[in-house]
Chains A and B, each alone.
Chain A
Amino acid sequence: MTKVVGAARRINWAGQAPLITLLVLCIVTSLLTSRFLSPINLTNIFVQSSIMAVIAVGMTFVIIGGGFDLSVGSTVALSGCIAAMAMLKFGIFAGVVSGIAAGAAVGLANGLIVAALKVNPFIATLGSMVLVRGVVYIITGGAPVSGDDGLPGAFVAFGNARLFGIHYLVWVPLVLLIVLSVVMQLTPYGRRVYATGGNREAAYLSGVAVERVIASTYVWCGALAGVAGVMLAARLQSGQPTAGEFYELTAIAAVVLGGASLYGGEGTLYKSVIGVFIMIVLGNGLNLLNVDSYWQRVAVGAVVIAAAAADRLRSRA
């Protein structure tokens, strides 16, 4: 008995707050509706979380580095449309690569503007959010991109098919999460990102090329938004110039729900993904419970505010 208590005490409960929140949310929802734990609904939750999870992982890089990226929603649309256009002309591989490259290019531009020109990240990425959306409308003429006969069948299937019983869309964040967690936790580069976000001055004085590190976090964020854009294009069976609106807000909310600090230096990739699950399960549960859409907005907004308040109080303590 004492052993159990001792073990329970050794676990860092507060560090697991996102997971506990998610579990409580799942338990409450499953008590309210038996449909919640049905296999089809659980599959839905994973598929619905997949694209946002990729964006949130990228956003976590930027937020750990002490920055902020409002442009990811527009980048998702840009990458999806460029991928669709390139795919129709040059094939699936070229489409996927150019979509992700477009995202990375937006990230690099953001990174240079923030790190080299020292523009406040909020303003810099607010600007690129609007600018990139404009570019998307220009290159597509505002119309969805799906060609005369639709996007290639194999690509559309990627948005719906499974491998070993798990949707391809779910494999992407799973693999990315594992690889990038290793990068963040076990490599000197990862430590430099945490150090720069935690205390830029101290990191600089101990020899970290802080500008380069900060710029790199935006490249990650842009490239991952690019990956998400390609996934979304597969899911929507087309490149959609209006796609991704307000995704930046959901991603930032998820990262903060996952325990990252908006002051930088803190955050864990997998916990941000848990944050995404919290947002998705909340929306899914409210839908299953037949809650009016106006009330859903109130509930989601309240969760975001509560998470931000928790972040604020924690950093003060």
Chain B
Amino acid sequence: MSKARLPLLAAALLLPAALLSFAPVTRAEDKITIGVSLPQDDNPFYIGMLKGIRARAGELGFDVATVSSNEDKLKQINGVQDLIAKGVKGILISPIDAVGVNAAYDAAAAAKIPIISLGRGSTSPNQTIHVAMDEVQVGRDIAEWTAKKLNGKGKVAMLLGPSGAPTFRNLAQGYTETMAKYPDIQIVFKTDGPLTRERGLKNSEDALVANPDLKAIYAANDDLALGAMQAVLAASKQGQTLVTGMNGVPPALHAVKDGNIAMTVELNPVLWGRLGVDVLASYLKGDKVEQKVFIKHVVIDSSNVDEELAKMAPPKS
């Protein structure tokens, strides 16, 4: 019995080794290698981000080493440690959790290499730079767009995100302070809660019952907006009550095309990845970089939605 086992375990070992010889293994010790750790490797947003990182790194002559974590925080910490052991010169990370993977930031700091957050940020004092969305500005842009459509007049409802989440607080702050500049626009309804379609629907129904002359609904993200859209359609108020979203997910873009959602804001993950590499490159060169760098966002409405949908259609690799 024991004889049969040894070759099998050898096979267990050799199989991955054999697979490895097929896998694209890049090794060039003299080039600068940057490490990348994203929360998922099967989510379109992060696939796009990685695509941007690889493209920009290629242009700048960097090698890219990636580790995947599949939303497992410990795996993300371990992966970052592996990158450091590998000798990368800097790390781009999208932390799964603002606290849970702080050990990864500590490890990078101990190895004296920069660690830059993309998208989600960390509370760690060792976070070198945060490449983030300018949340307040996005809120202002949504408000400005809405106010223009309403000719600066009318009642508005706000469906905020979860109370306490800084992203949605900042968005709402930008929106509210901009609307305050328009004396004839009143915010008549305001709720916070989870970012679900169901809540978007229920809250909007209530808002429409309470204010039959409601002119616009601000939804903190696209899922809320899609729910709000259903309420507006059910009340036959299409065109009378505008719904605005945020994120630019495909179903929302289609709704913009159909005219059921008036506008949304797209955060382009490919550009986000490219910007991350640029920020890291400047930092490595010794240029002075702000602690927080903002990614550009694009307002999507009926005027440019076709372009955006065409971009998404068949992903050319």
**A residues apposed to B, CB below 8 Å:** 12-15, 17-18, 20-21, 24-25, 28, 33, 35, 38, 40-41, 44, 47-48, 51, 144, 146, 150, 159-160, 232, 235-238, 240, 242-243, 245-246, 257, 282-284, 286-296, 298-300, 302-303, 306-307, 309-310, 313-314, 317
Mark the stretch among B8-16, B138-146, B220-228, B249-257 that contacts chain A.
Answer: B8-16
Given known contacts A243-B73, A295-B23, A303 and B86 CB-to-CB distance under 8 angstroms: no
**Contact (Cβ within 8 A) B16 A303:** yes
Please name the residue on chain B nearest to A307 by beta carbon: B12
Say if the beta carbon of B132 comes within 8 Å of chain A: no
User: A24 contacts B68, CB within 8 Å?
Assistant: no
With A236-B101, A303-B16, A317-B4 as given contacts, are A290 and B81 in contact (CB-CB < 8 Å)? no
Residue B20 at the A interface, CB < 8 A? Answer: yes
Q: A14-B2, A15-B2, A291-B25 are in contact. Are A44 and B78 (CB under 8 A)?
A: yes
Residues of B within 8 A of A (CB): 1-6, 8-13, 15-17, 19-20, 22-27, 41, 63, 65-68, 71-74, 77-79, 81-87, 97, 99-103, 106, 111
Bound complex: CA A232 to CA B77 (Å): 11
Q: Which of A33, A243, A294, A306 has the most CB of B within 10 A?
A: A306
Q: Contact check, B8 vs A313: say whether CB atoms are below 8 A apart.
A: yes
- Chain A residues with Cβ below 8 Å from B71 are 242, 245
| Measured CA separation A35–B85 after assembly (Å) | 7
- Contact A287:B83 (CB < 8 A) given known A146-B99, A236-B74: yes
**Bound Cα distance from A309 to B15, whole angstroms:** 13
**Most A C-beta atoms less than 10 A away, residue of B9, B78, B103:** B9
Q: Are A299 and B16 in contact (CB under 8 A)?
A: yes
Given A282-B16, A289-B20; A240-B73 close (CB under 8 Å): yes
With both chains docked as a complex, state the minimum distance between the C-beta of A76 and any C-beta of chain B, in angstroms: 10
**Residue of B11, B15, B20 with most partner-chain A CB within 10 A:** B20
Structural contact, A17 and B6, CB atoms closer than 8 A? yes
Contact A299 B20 (CB under 8 A): yes
Given the complex, which residues of B lie within 8 Å of A246, measured CB to CB? Answer: 72
B35 to chain A, nearest CB (A): 9
Quick check: B13 and A310 within 8 Å, CB to CB?
no
Determine how close the nearest CB of chain B comes to the CB of A13; give it in whole angstroms.
6
- Bound together, the chains give a CA A274 to CA B141 distance in angstroms of 57
Chain B residues with Cβ below 8 Å from A20 are 6, 9
CA gap between A177 and B1 in the complex, in Å: 28
**Contact A240-B12, Cβ < 8 Å, known A14-B3, A48-B81:** no
Pair B82/A284 contact, Cβ less than 8 Å = yes
B85 touches A41 (CB 8 A): yes
| B86: chain A residues within 8 A (beta carbon) | 33, 35, 287-288, 290
**Chain A residues within 8 Å of B6, by CB:** 13-14, 17, 20
- Determine if B103 and A235 form an interchain contact, defined as CB atoms under 8 angstroms apart: yes
- Show 18 A/B contacts (Cβ-Cβ < 8 Å), sorted by A: A13-B6, A18-B9, A24-B10, A35-B85, A38-B85, A238-B97, A240-B97, A243-B73, A243-B74, A292-B23, A293-B68, A294-B41, A298-B19, A307-B9, A307-B12, A310-B5, A310-B8, A310-B12
Contacts of A303 in B (CB 8 A): 12-13, 15-16
Beta-carbon nearest neighbor of A239 in chain B: B100
A232–B24 Cα distance when bound, in Å, is 33
Contact B66 A14 (CB under 8 A): no
